[in-house]
Every structure is written in structure tokens, then in C-alpha cells.
Amino acid sequence: MSRISSQGTVIMISDDLAAAPATITAATKAKPCVLTLTTGETAPVVGDIVIPAGTTWNSIEGMPFKVSAVTGMAVTLEDSDTTRESNAFPTGDVASITIPTFKELCRSNFNANNPAGATIDVTTLCDTSHRIVAGLPAVGTWTAAGFFDCADDAMFIARDAYRFGNEVAIDVRLPDGCGWAFMAIVNTFDLTLGINAAVANNIGGQIDGGIHFYKTPAPGFVPLTMPMRTQRGGGAAPGPAPVLTPAPAPATA
């Protein structure tokens, strides 16, 4: 199990959801799903985030996924699962992906909350106790607190999303290259002032769809930390031997 410091995490907010479109010609019902793009169009590279649209498959429609593999025009969506889709993938070049562009949203803390989902009571008069089945997951929420900066383009992207009701994609990249991405609605944009306090800015809202996790780092990513890994019994896994600097010899009279 890894224990990773939050320091060095990069939070990104999309500034163009419609960038670099490409047509999808086929898709697999699999875990993970593999999309086939039209030959000759620009395919994403491993580590890009893509958003499928027009697929009619609710398990991937309009949500961001990390690209974990590219073979020719076949693109694998990490943490996707289309095995429960019942209808055929649409034909006629109606489905596509985009490769959104992002700006860094520098924040002091971040929270993504997935509260308890609904339960459905299916108890009958024949039962001796309540029987329930799981309903849909609850609507998730997210918050990202930081500081006001009138030169921060990313902060104003969030402000515009709040003002005009635009959806944005959020990408949270941890220091080891792993992370998660989701579509977000921005309905909180708070400014706070106080004595002996910085001008604070809190952004937040709801999560549209699911949070999709990834292990594939962004293109050109260089890890900032080496996570400590533990073994059974609580002992730390061996790491590189420390470099010891000998103490200087005592001075002679």
C-alpha cells in the first residue's frame, strides 16, 4: 500500500472541452472499453484525457477518461466498463471524442465527496425483516479552496463556469502520476477576507457522472516523489541504501 504526500498534486481545469475532435467508428463492450477512431484523424497519445460523445452508451458518454494504450487508431479508456451496455454502438460517424485542454488550478486543498447512495425498500408482507437493494449512487460534490489572484486564468475559468452554467472537466494529478478525472458543475465561487488573513477563494459544486481513476501519467510526466510502500506486518519495503557522508577527521594540534 502506498502513502503519498498531497504536496505536489496538480489540479487542472479544462479551458476547451471541444479541442481536437476525432470520429469514433467502433467500440468494444469490455472492461476497459477500446474505441476505434477514423483512419487519418489525429489520435490521442497515452496519458491524454478524452471525452466521448454521441456514443449512446451511458457508461462512457460525456465523461473524461485517461488513455492507457494506443495501438494504431485503437484507443483504450482506463477505468471504463461498457460490459453492461445492451444496445449496439451507433454507426454513421455520429460518435466522437475530444481531447480537452487544461490549465492548472493552484489550490491549497481539494475534496471530492461521494455520500451514501439511495436504498430501495423491497420488503413484502411475506418477509420477516426489511429487504433492500441498492439504488443509484448519490450526487457527488467537490470543493477546491485557495487564494484569489486576479492574474489566475484558471480561477476565472471556474468563475465563468459558475456564472454561465458551463460544465468543466477536472483532472487531479497526484505526485506519483496517478489520479482521477470527472465532469463538474461549478455552483460555488466564494471570496473571503479577514484581519491578518489572505484573500481566500473557494470553488466547488457537483460531480456529473462518475469519478474515473487512472494509473497512467500525463505525457512527459516526471514523478515528484517516491511513495513509501509497506509490507504485511507493517514493515517498510526496502529502498535504496542511504548515502553516508563520513565525519571530518579531528584537527591536530
- Judge whether 121 and 134 are in contact, CB under 8 Å: no
Domain presence at residue 2: no
Q: Mind listing the pLDDT tens digit for each residue in 71-108? A: 999 999 999 999 999 999 998 889 999 999 999 999 99
Domain presence at residue 24: yes
Domain presence at residue 183: yes
Pair 127, 213 in one domain: yes
Number of domains in the chain: 2
| CATH at 53 | 2.40.30.180
Evaluate if residue 225 carries a pLDDT over 50: yes
Domain that holds residue 60: 18-99
Integer Rg of the chain from CA: 23
Nearest to 21 by CA among 1, 45, 44: 44
Domain presence at residue 246: no
Pair 69, 129 in one domain: no
Pair 157, 114 in one domain: yes
| CATH at 160 | 2.40.30
Evaluate if residue 235 carries a pLDDT over 50: no
Dig out the grid coordinates for 33 from the structure. 472499453
Pair 135, 173 in one domain: yes
Q: Mind listing the pLDDT tens digit for each residue in 112-167? A: 998 888 899 999 999 999 999 998 888 999 999 999 999 999 999 999 999 999 99
Looking only at the bridges linking them, the beta strands covering 65-71 and 49-53 are: antiparallel
pLDDT, residue 138, reads 87
Give whichever of 44-58, 216-230, 234-248 has the largest mean pLDDT.
44-58
Residue that is last in its domain, among 99, 131, 148: 99
Domain presence at residue 123: yes
What does the DSSP 8-state code read for residue 17?
T
Residue that is last in its domain, among 42, 69, 99: 99
Looking only at the bridges linking them, the beta strands covering 200-214 and 141-147 are: antiparallel
pLDDT, residue 159, reads 97
Evaluate if residue 229 carries a pLDDT over 80: no
Domain presence at residue 26: yes
